[in-house]
Amino acid sequence: MIEVQNLTKSFKDLVAVDGVGFHARNGAITGLLGHNGAGKSTTLRILYGLLKADKGRAMVDGIDVMTEPLKVQAAIGVMTDAHGLNPRLTAREHIEYFARLRKMKKAQIQRRIDELIVTLDMGEIADRRAEGFSQGEKMKVCLCRSLVHDPQNLIMDEPTNGLDVMTTRSVRSILLKLKKDNKCILLSSHIMQEISALCDEIVVIADGKVLMQGTLDELARRTDESDLEEAFMKITRRG
């Protein structure tokens, strides 16, 4: 469970996040929807402990990220916006590295990685070096890394950005399965289809402010637009 209250963050003169508040419950996929530069990434970075908020609170499972960032990081899996890999390490070694950093046992690591490789259909690239991986293959490795410790909360920054249809679909099915396992999933996106296909809750962000939070139906009702894109345009224009 993730809860954010009145989060504010400025870089010099630029107010990137301005009093953002929302919550993401277990067993649901919550989507942060907004333009590029709306403050989605900054909000997520505060949540996973890489940036310090000037004001406000961010809690994961009741733990405050300001006071106990390492505990929060232990309770979440994160897929960052950056998908860099070490070109000389294999996919399996990348995942293993993160599993070790999360203090998993050796036998447990191998079992878990084999499981993920099957789920994400990565058998072919598992023992290949990352040099020359396609964007989709890189993202799969990143997704595996963020899931290897089976976190209760999953935070993803633009998880399907630049993926082909096949991979996007397999990512979607994984997220839906995690949701069924009562995990809390928070993702950001600027792609309407993505959000409307996946998310139970939608948080619309523009200029660092939350303009609206609700289900797809609620947003449609409150804007009188059945199409999310139209609804989004209406909301952000009004903001």
Partner 1 sequence: MMWSVITRKELKDALRDRRALGALLLFPILGPVMIYFMFNMIIDIAEEAGEVSLPVVGAQYANDLVDYLEQNGIEIETVNLNAAANPDSDFYSEAQLEEIREAIRSRRFDFVLLVPEKFDKLIGASRSSNIELHMESTRTTASPKIGRVDGLIQAWGRETAALRLITRGVNPAVIAPVNVVRVDVASQQSRVQSILGMVPFFVIMAAFVCGMGVAVDVTAGERERKSLEPLLVNPVPRYTIVIGKWMAAVVFSAVGLVLVMILNFFSLSLVPLEEVGIVFNIGSLEIIGVLVTTLPLALFAPSIQIFVGIFAKSFKDAQAYLSFIMMLPMAPFFFNMLNTQDREFWMNFVPMLGQHMLLTDVARGETPEIIDFLLAGLTLLFFSLLFVYGASQLMKRERIIFS
Question: Which residues of the chain form contacts with partner 1 (CB under 8 A)?
Answer: 45, 48-52, 70-71, 73-74, 78, 80-89, 93, 97-98, 100-103, 129, 142, 145
What are 33's strand-pairing partners?
189, 204
Minimum CB distance to partner 1 smaller for 83 or for 183: 83
CB of 182 to partner 1, least distance (A): 22
Minimum CB distance to partner 1 smaller for 28 or for 142: 142
CB of 94 to partner 1, least distance (A): 9
Q: Using CA atoms, how far apart are residues 73 and 68, in angstroms rounded to an integer?
A: 9
CB of 45 to partner 1, least distance (A): 7
Minimum CB distance to partner 1 smaller for 42 or for 196: 42
Minimum CB distance to partner 1 smaller for 24 or for 202: 24
Token readout for 205 is: 């962000």
Q: In what order do the strands lie in the sheet with 55-60?
A: 14-24, 2-11, 55-60, 63-64
CB of 85 to partner 1, least distance (A): 6
| Helix ranges, 38-90 (H) | 40-47, 69-75
Token readout for 103 is: 């203090």
CB of 47 to partner 1, least distance (A): 10
Q: Using CA atoms, how far apart are residues 140 and 148, in angstroms rounded to an integer?
A: 12
How many Cα atoms sit within 13 Å of 14 on the Cβ side?
8
Closest CA to 142 of 85, 104, 191: 85
Minimum CB distance to partner 1 smaller for 16 or for 235: 16
